[in-house]
Structure 1
Amino acid sequence: MNRRILLAALGALALAGCGGGKPGAGDPGTLTVAATAVPHAEILEFVKPILAREGVKLDVRVFNDYVQPNVQVSEGRIAVNYFQTGPYLDEFNKAKGTHLVKIAGVHIEPLGAYSRKWKALGELPDGATVAIPNEPSNSGRALRLLAGEGLITLRDPSDITATPKDVVQNRKQLKFREIEAATLPRVLDQVDLALINTNYALDAGLNPTRDALAIEGKDSPYVNYVVGLESERNDPRVQKLVTALRSPEVKAFMERKYGGAVVPVF
């Protein structure tokens, strides 16, 4: 009898552990959000008390890459994510066959060019090694920034997915290394210049407004969005998250904490 009771109890635990669906699905008051550490998870931590007052418990899952947050949301294991730009999402959906949608824009993180060897872009020597992100939306973004600074010319200046193959003029004969975005701060000592996304720059202790030799302007089209499946758009918890992220309190927090490195778009 005791053995049967034990087996039944273990079976119940197994079923509970398999629970299916995304985290928080069994708790209508919990919303699970995937994010990269800086600044997204920091901003989400700031809004936790705001959402708590609205009856929503925020469960923040931190990732150090750009792929898994989308994979887990597309598979329904996490409700929404907050880490990516519209062009990156478009490329991801196209490459992976997913159907994630932009739910709300929150901020811009101007991409910057950094160096530990040179104090200005004009000091870059001929044949300098330049590290850029290795996926299309961010490589194009990096190359467009360099083109805007007059270092290169692109075949189509409006192409947000440009690669080094699209460089038609390269007056300094820059040598491009395409590297995973998260790794770029770690190779900064090994290259002449690195084009780094602000979230990874901040995480590495870089100050974009002080340390970047060139940085995107506030008119950058690379807005960071809350992203999810279409079915999540009308979830009351997600709507409360969006309202909180676009609140005056969060705008003031971004401006105070990041000093222009994270720019609200609301």
Structure 2
Amino acid sequence: MKLKLAAAGLAAVLSVGLVGCSGSSSDSSSGADQERVTVKVGVVGDNNEPWETAAEALEENENIEIELVKFSDYVQPNQALSDGSVDLNSFQTQIYLETYNSEHGTDLTSIGYTLMAPLGIYSNEVDSVDELPDGATVSIPDDASNGGRALKLLEKAGLITVDPAAGLTPTTDDITDNPKNLQITELDAAQTARSLEDVDAAVINSGMAVDAGLIPSTDSIFIEEVGEESTPYYNVIAARAEDTDNETYKKVVEYYQSDAVAQTITESTKGSQIAVWDGAPSASPSAAQSTAA
């Protein structure tokens, strides 16, 4: 399998002139006789086993080559998708995508669900949220959707109360009760795992936690529940609005949403992430709901 792992940055951007959004030119038959097509997919972090599983099947059966373009933060992949540096991206929740579009005037569109990656609270200092001392420092992501999600998780853990009128994206200004007087520090999501050495607890996105060597289902001291209200936090494959009917991209979604990829998600994350597309043989939600003592 010739799966290319392209580093994000100038080299990835300049290569667009050579490869372009090649997926958009192919929407006909599939199989070995089809001319090879390269589809660039923007991802965040180093752990991309599900995409590697999908890429192997796509290359073998459809002559579609997936080139993973790796980014280190949550802003660059959408910028790259908007400017055509990548064809698709796969790193963000539905609510993050909607918030990004609202803030940047873009029309990036979800073309398929991938997985649910529960947000967790982690600590090197205590073994449960009840043990956090008065005045404890807690780091959370600083973007609107992940930061709001983190505050909602802290509320679920019984640590704070936020104004329900703020919906799914509350800010620290919406905290109405903070009995432990938590000192909440907002950081780039990519920095939250690294902050564990300097804070009492950190709210860390699952992908960032896994990249830092943590196992969300066992290492977190409190983790997000998976249920009917989780849909805004489903991760998606995103495309530009004009490409939502692209047959090649639909084929990419089809191969990602396979039993083999669902199994890879479960095995590579030790049950910490859950396949969420319709009909996915996902891991038991109870695995994602458990907390570490």
TM-score between both structures, scaled by the size of structure 2 = 0.81
Q: Gapped runs of 5+ residues in structure 1?
A: 1-15
1:33/1:150 CA distance change after superposition, 3 Å: same
Match of 1:131 among 125, 131, 139: 139
Q: Take 1:240 and 1:25, find their aligned partners in 2: how far apart are those partners?
A: 12
Q: Take 1:58 and 1:182, find their aligned partners in 2: how far apart are those partners?
A: 25
Equivalent residue number for residue 70 of structure 1? 78
Q: Take 2:197 and 2:247, find their aligned partners in 1: how far apart are those partners?
A: 47
Q: Take 2:75 and 2:58, find their aligned partners in 1: how far apart are those partners?
A: 27
Q: Take 1:125 and 1:157, find their aligned partners in 2: how far apart are those partners?
A: 29
Match of 1:93 among 88, 92, 101: 101
SS of equivalent residue, structure 1 residue 202: helix
Q: Take 1:265 and 1:55, find their aligned partners in 2: how far apart are those partners?
A: 26
Would you say the 8 A contact 1:155–1:166 is kept in 2? yes
Runs (4+) off by over 2 Å? 16-28
Equivalent residue number for residue 8 of structure 1? none
Q: Gapped runs of 5+ residues in structure 2?
A: 1-14, 26-34, 278-293
Match of 1:103 among 108, 111, 115: 111
Equivalent residue number for residue 11 of structure 2? none
2:166 counterpart of 1:155: no
Out of 129-138 and 216-225, give the one that drifted further. 216-225
Would you say the 8 A contact 2:24–2:243 is kept in 1? no
Deviation sequence 1:216-241 (CA, Å, 0-9, x none) = 11223300000011222222221111
Would you say the 8 A contact 1:117–1:192 is kept in 2? yes
1:145/1:156 CA distance change after superposition, 3 Å: same
Identity percentage over the alignment?
36
Q: Take 2:257 and 2:172, find their aligned partners in 1: how far apart are those partners?
A: 36
Counting only pairs closer than 5 Å after superposition, residues 124-203 of structure 1 correspond to structure 2 as 124-156=132-164, 159-203=167-211
TM-score between both structures, scaled by the size of structure 1 = 0.89
Match of 2:257 among 239, 246, 263: 246
Out of 185-194 and 21-30, give the one that drifted further. 21-30
Instruction: Compare CA radii of gyration and give the structure with the larger one.
Output: 1
Q: Take 2:224 and 2:18, find their aligned partners in 1: how far apart are those partners?
A: 45
SS of equivalent residue, structure 2 residue 97: helix
SS of equivalent residue, structure 1 residue 131: strand
Deviation sequence 1:85-144 (CA, Å, 0-9, x none) = 011111111111111011111110000000001111111000000100001101110111
Letter in 1 for 2:129: L
